[in-house]
A and B are shown apart, each in its own frame.
Chain A
Amino acid sequence: MDEKIRREAAEEEVQGWCELFGGELDLGIREKIVQGFMAGRITCDIKSEAFTVHLLKPIRLENGKTIDSLKIGEPDFDQINNSERAKNEVEQTMFLLSSVTGHPVGVIGRLKMRDLTLCGSVLGFFG
């Protein structure tokens, strides 16, 4: 992975986000986010309190368009409640990502594993 930002700066930035959003990240998730930030794949818009994740593998749609980033904001109660119909944790993440990004679950389902993992990790800031 290309390192665009130094680790110390990345860790400081992620710590700042944790304090801003009040989320507790476990070590594994935190490391994924730090690495994602170091690679320039995650940005945070403080004003809108949302993260943008730039995808390693953009999603190609059948109509020829491409989705190369996802904007992930804080889910509300309805969105969380709705996601709990999922059969498992991965599916729950997909439903939540669908709700907060506005993209249909059929599109979110095309995320490759590394992108899905990073996007799911970002949701941890809000939990």
Chain B
Amino acid sequence: MTVRGGDIIQVMLFGREFDPVPESNVTYRLSGRSNESKPTGNGGMHTIQRLKLGGFDSLPLSVDSSRGDVEFLQEKANSGEPGPCSMTLINGETYAGNLAIQGEVDPNTGDGQVEVTALGAKFELI
């Protein structure tokens, strides 16, 4: 039986390993193309294809403030430069690419987590 889902067992962002939150359900996307199709008047299909970035949305990480986790991520966000990021799933599959942090890096004091979104021109199974 092939494992279809589950925990993320390792997250590496810009050369640093972060602690993934258990039982997280993260949306990730491969870089490539996406299509938007509409019907034509005569029953055909009119498709517009666009390039899309790859990466992940709102990946929750357990914050270790003693290491300056949030400061490290904010510094990477400040630079705006893509860097090596990877995510290894519990079934051993690893997705990686050079990604830049998107949006805000705002940790929560209550649960000690921060959610990170990162995108890049390439994010793929390696």
Q: A residues within 8 Å of B by Cβ? A: 61-63, 65, 78-79, 82, 98-99, 102, 104-107, 109
Contact = CB atoms under 8 A, between A and B. Distances in A.
Contacts of B15: 102
Interface of B: 9-10, 12, 15, 17, 67, 84, 86-89, 92-94, 96, 124-126
Contacts, number: 42
Contacts of B92: 106, 109
A98 B93 CA distance: 15
A84 to B, nearest CB: 13
Contacts of A61: 126
Nearest to B14: A102
A106 B12 contact: no
Contact of B17 (A62, A79, A107): A79
A104 B88 contact: yes
Given A78-B67, A82-B17, A98-B10, A104 B124 contact: no
B125 A99 contact: no
Contacts of B89: 106
